[in-house]
Amino acid sequence: MPFLTFLKSNFRWIAGGFLLTFFSTVGQTSFMGGSAGYLRAEYGLSNGQWGLVYMIGTLCSALTLPYLGQIVDRYPARKVALFVLPMLALAATLMALSHHVLLLVLTVYLLRLFGQGMSPHLAYTATARWFSAQRGKALSLVILGHNAGEAVLISSFAVLAGWLGWRGGWLFYAALVALFALPAVLALVSVERQPGSGEVNPRVVDARDWSRSEVLRDPLFYLFMLGFMAPGFIVTVVFFHQVYLSELRGWTPGIFASAFVVWAFVNSIFTLLSGQLIDRFSGLALLPFVLLPLGMAAAMLGFVAAPWAPFAFMVLVGMSAGLSTTLFGAVWPELYGLKHLGSIRALGISAAVFASAAGPGLTGYLIDIGVSYPGQLIAMGLYCVFASLVFWYVAKTARARNAC
């Protein structure tokens, strides 16, 4: 099906998923990291202490997600959105109004659970169910909401913070989620799409439908997690400590914020490219290659102190993020089928959230005790090489298992 025809025929579902991922930015590390300087100054926190607050809130989110994430298997997308988006707006409001560190922990928990966790979880799971033969194309378009959110919301927050103050900026986005995103998403996803409608070729790469208990007994799941958690850990660490790295390198304070435009552009290109590649080759076939640009990005940022390093990092990590986000959304059905996709994917996302929670706290602690942060980044790059080898084994084993 031609691209424009596909988009026109499926606009409401693509747009609904796009808005969910777009506004999930409010709970993402890349967005919250822009407030790190304000928060540390307001609450009198060190890098390690702010990392601990972030880690506690995110860990609690990770523990909640496997249970809450199951609702996408039980209720239609509209009903889930009616719960998730108001909670995200409430979390952003609490960030604007909080004056106590305990309330800050609760705020981080809610932002991570309903921003980073449930909003994209709903978008990806619903899209994977709504589409079959052109699942990669559909997911790539929905995932562009992340890129657009990072390009628009992060840069505009810096302007709003200068105009309204950082608390006013958070309050503005809370209102935007409640008054625009919520009614728009509810209208767009009010009708469930039937998978396969308008698609010519049936999809044959999906696995049989595994139950959640079967997945927990599958050794391949835990091997897959070794690589699946890497992007969340590494990207979260870099964005979380962007201010500290800029101070360490002597870069201008806004250099990472300005580089997000590069990230969004490259990410968008590779998100669309990955959708086409997945529909042609399958997600499992591409799995061993997805972490290599991320490894190069982390190692480069550890070695290079020049002012162009953040921009080069954004190019490489944009490539990896564009490939991995779409690919991981497509790989879950290829590993474990569709029937219990929401519950199974929630397990993986919980592990990824756990990794993103552990990253800032662990690296913040290591920074506080004198461990070189650039050295930590180089180690992360080497880990990506190891995880790529693990992914090669996972893909090979899963394809053989699906063929039986």
Provide CATH code, domain 10-191+209-403: 1.20.1250.20
Q: Is the pLDDT of residue 84 over 90?
A: yes
E strands within 194-283? none
The confidence band for 220, taking pLDDT boundaries of 50, 70 and 90, is very high
- Per-residue confidence band for 126, with pLDDT thresholds at 50, 70 and 90: very high
Question: How many angstroms separate the CA atoms of 275 and 277, rounded?
Answer: 5
Average pLDDT, the chain: 88
Of 68, 156, 359, 146, nearest in space to 239 by CA: 359
Mean pLDDT, to the nearest integer, of 156-170? 88
So what's the pLDDT on residue 205? 60
Give the pLDDT score at 142: 93
Summarize pLDDT for 285-325 with one digit per residue, the tens: 999 999 999 999 999 999 999 989 999 999 999 899 888 88
At a CB cut-off of 8 Å and minimum separation 6, what does 321 contact? 146, 231, 235, 263, 267, 270, 294
Evaluate if residue 169 carries a pLDDT over 60. Answer: yes
Q: What is the pLDDT of residue 204?
A: 47
For residue 235, pLDDT beyond 70: yes
Nearest partner of 152 among 12, 23, 33, 11, judged by Cα: 23
In the prediction, which pLDDT does 274 show? Answer: 87
- What does the pLDDT read at residue 26? 93
pLDDT digits over 260-286, tens only?
778 878 888 998 888 888 888 888 999
